[in-house]
A and B are shown apart, each in its own frame.
Chain A
Amino acid sequence: MPVENDDLVTPDILRLEQINKTFHIKPVFGPAKTVKALRNVNLSLRPGRALALVGESGSGKSTVGRMIVQHHAATSGRILFEGSDIAEFTDRASQSKYRQAVQMVFQDPFSSLNPAHTIRHHLQRALRLHQPDRSDEAAVRKILDEVELDPNTTPDKYPHELSGGQRQRVNFARALAVNARLIVADEPTSMLDVSIRRSVLALMERLKTERGLSLLYITHDIATAEYLAEDTAVMFQGQVVEQGPTRDVVGAPKHSYTQLLRSAVPDPRQRLLADDNGFSKRAKEVREASARLVSGMVEQAPGHLIAQH
């Protein structure tokens, strides 16, 4: 469970400053166009904590994740990892160091492992590259044990012999094998069944508290954010509309979009009736209002920022 411990002295492990990202799309048919995927995004993540990045599809949350692992470069603004700009990691040594420290876990557990190799291969390869001195069988077993997979039978298995939840655990094991300090998890549970979703969340929670890992948890499911993350940022159309401690952002949202998102989370005790009580009308109004350019953020409570449009 999230623990409130406002130690403002700890420097951020990751900081995004005024990030803008514009994609230029040139389709085979039709005119070229530009898409502003991110507009003036500011985020920070403290070590040993989890930040949930919540938003609908197309809100730019995955773009943030991909920029952190250097799949995309920012159009403007900078990303600081432990105080240094990641754009300046140009030589081989610092690149390799950064890639070791920051790992990504993807949404689809069925396509993110090589089907032709055993689990042992996946883990040993990572170990050999980043920790050559401990790439033996014992290390593989230890890591598997840490992600709650059977250390005796799992190494010889191929990805197709594992379930989605188990494969996602292998992906986390791979990130652990290189001694990552920050894991960017892009919708790690959305392709899993509800019944195993929670156990993968529990694994992430445990890695955070026991190993002191920092997590950027990208999700469209605002309810799971509360389970895992101390801080939450809500994105809409490339802008952060509300951010702060999860307790405030999810528990008592102030921005109209967060409130809309929060009210749409299925609640089994609330029956839906034919009359929607103006929900669709409200959704349309809120979307229009929230898409407008953010002029500034207002600090509602310590650390709880709400966008003004």
Chain B
Amino acid sequence: MSESNTPLMQVKDLRVEYLTAGDPFAAVRDVSFDIHRNEVLGLAGESGCGKSTIAYSLMRLHKPPALIRSGDIRFEGRSVLAFDAERLRAWRWSEVSMVFQSAMNSLNPVMSILGQFSDMLKAHGKISREDIITRTAEMLKMVGIPAERMHAYPHQLSGGMRQRVALALALTLRPKLIVMDEPTTALDVVVQREILQEVLRLREELGFSVLFITHDLALMAQISDRIGIMKGGEIIEIGSAEQIVTNPQHEYTQALWSAMPVLEQVEESDAHAG
């Protein structure tokens, strides 16, 4: 990957606090990191470490009592925190989109899949009904769902298919960055693998960066180029996926690895099989 130009997104000294009755609680403490073009950056950590708060803050989707206290978020050099409401609305989804935690439940249950695409496309420009249908069919086909399923409602699709729809929705406007917050946690391993392969294939085809958030380190190591490990609102270690796997520096990273039954058992059984 060429490092010729500036990072796609630069986060500098970001501090997000939750207002409480007492002192404000800092969920994200002066965190800095870059997301490069075409890169999958993973953020791992236990629940409550602030990783989801970062995901929401990047798109300024955080809601009170959360507030960005200080720091800077730059997207292609532009300061996201300085965007006015109109600019922000246009920027979201067309340049940065998101696949939410339990994306399967992020679809509107009383709207057909076509309706959800139509809503999103209309919000970002004038578009005719025929074009909406063509576009929806094309996007569904891209994620491996037959185009005629566009008239289905979310409950008529399996969990894996709903996840694919959420992914298709996030990709439609060809964003440069997709934030994925625990995108496959509710799925079984086979479906999880299928969807992640799809993400990687589409990345090669379309070119986009991914901020991938999960607590499953093994999974993260499989698809990320770089990994940041979070604890208590801070990134305590960030490095290439290979370094985090083979040579973790921070003792917390080492503790996270040793706490995972998955890893050790896989290694053992490989030994059995061999």
Known contacts A195-B46, A227-B265, A272-B197; is-contact A266 B216 (Cβ 8 Å) = yes
Q: Is the beta-carbon distance between B188 and A220 smaller than 8 angstroms?
A: yes
Interface residue from B144, B203, B259, B269 paired with A251 (Cβ < 8 Å): B269
Interface positions of A from 87 to 119, Cβ below 8 Å from B? none
Interface residue from B203, B204, B262 paired with A265 (Cβ < 8 Å): B262
Does A9 lie at the interface of the complex (its beta carbon under 8 Å from any beta carbon of B)?
no
Contacts of A57 in B (CB 8 A): 159, 188
Within the complex, the shortest CB–CB distance from B156 to chain A, in Å, comes to 10
* Chain A residue nearest in CB terms to B205: A274
Known contacts A193-B46, A198-B259; is-contact A276 B189 (Cβ 8 Å) = no
Q: Is the beta-carbon distance between A266 and B200 smaller than 8 angstroms?
A: no
Contacts of A265 in B (CB 8 A): 189, 262, 266
Does A203 lie at the interface of the complex (its beta carbon under 8 Å from any beta carbon of B)?
no
Within the complex, the shortest CB–CB distance from A55 to chain B, in Å, comes to 8
Q: Which of A193, A201, A264, A268 has the most CB of B within 10 A?
A: A268
Interface positions of B from 190 to 209, Cβ below 8 Å from A? 190-194, 196-198, 200-201, 203-205
Contacts of B223 in A (CB 8 A): 271-272
Does A283 lie at the interface of the complex (its beta carbon under 8 Å from any beta carbon of B)?
yes
Q: Which of A199, A250, A271, A272 has the most CB of B within 10 A?
A: A272
Number of interface residues of B (CB under 8 A): 42
Does A194 lie at the interface of the complex (its beta carbon under 8 Å from any beta carbon of B)?
yes
Interface positions of A from 152 to 177, Cβ below 8 Å from B? none
Q: Is the beta-carbon distance between B201 and A269 smaller than 8 angstroms?
A: no
Scan B208-242; emit 1 where CB is below 8 A from any A CB, else 0: 00000001111101110000000000000000010
Q: How long is the Cα–Cα vector from A273 to B198 in the complex, in angstroms?
A: 10
Does A5 lie at the interface of the complex (its beta carbon under 8 Å from any beta carbon of B)?
no
Contacts of B218 in A (CB 8 A): 266-268
Q: Is the beta-carbon distance between B47 and A226 smaller than 8 angstroms?
A: no
Known contacts A272-B197, A276-B197; is-contact A194 B204 (Cβ 8 Å) = no
* Chain A residue nearest in CB terms to B49: A193
Within the complex, the shortest CB–CB distance from A187 to chain B, in Å, comes to 11
Does B273 lie at the interface of the complex (its beta carbon under 8 Å from any beta carbon of A)?
yes
Q: Is the beta-carbon distance between A272 and B261 smaller than 8 angstroms?
A: no
Q: Is the beta-carbon distance between A197 and B261 smaller than 8 angstroms?
A: yes
Contacts of B47 in A (CB 8 A): 193
Interface residue from A250, A273, A283 paired with B269 (Cβ < 8 Å): A250
Within the complex, the shortest CB–CB distance from B155 to chain A, in Å, comes to 10
Interface residue from A56, A223, A267 paired with B188 (Cβ < 8 Å): A56
Q: Is the beta-carbon distance between B272 and A271 smaller than 8 angstroms?
A: no
Within the complex, the shortest CB–CB distance from A112 to chain B, in Å, comes to 18
Interface residue from B196, B203, B259 paired with A197 (Cβ < 8 Å): B259
Contacts of B217 in A (CB 8 A): 194, 268
Q: Is the beta-carbon distance between B189 and A194 smaller than 8 angstroms?
A: no
Does B256 lie at the interface of the complex (its beta carbon under 8 Å from any beta carbon of A)?
yes
Within the complex, the shortest CB–CB distance from A308 to chain B, in Å, comes to 22
Q: Is the beta-carbon distance between A264 and B245 smaller than 8 angstroms?
A: no
Q: Is the beta-carbon distance between B265 and A224 smaller than 8 angstroms?
A: yes
Q: Is the beta-carbon distance between A247 and B272 smaller than 8 angstroms?
A: yes
Known contacts A193-B215, A223-B261; is-contact A268 B245 (Cβ 8 Å) = yes
Interface residue from A194, A260, A273 paired with B200 (Cβ < 8 Å): A273
Q: How long is the Cα–Cα vector from A195 to B217 in the complex, in angstroms?
A: 10
Contacts of B269 in A (CB 8 A): 226, 250-251
Does A222 lie at the interface of the complex (its beta carbon under 8 Å from any beta carbon of B)?
yes
Within the complex, the shortest CB–CB distance from B85 to chain A, in Å, comes to 36
Apart from A57-B188, A272-B193, 12 more pairs, CB < 8 Å: A193-B47, A194-B217, A195-B215, A196-B259, A201-B261, A227-B265, A265-B262, A266-B192, A266-B221, A267-B266, A272-B197, A274-B201
Please give the residue numbers on chain B whose beta carbons come within 8 Å of chain A beta carbons, in ascending order. Answer: 46-47, 144, 159, 188-194, 196-198, 200-201, 203-205, 215-219, 221-223, 241, 245, 255-256, 259-263, 265-266, 268-269, 272-273
Q: Can you show 18 pairs from A to B with CB atoms below 8 A apart?
A: A194-B216, A194-B217, A194-B256, A195-B46, A197-B261, A221-B189, A222-B189, A223-B261, A227-B265, A264-B189, A264-B190, A265-B189, A267-B218, A269-B221, A271-B222, A275-B201, A276-B201, A279-B197
The 7 tightest CB contacts between A and B, nearest first, are A268-B221, A56-B188, A274-B204, A251-B272, A276-B197, A266-B218, A266-B219
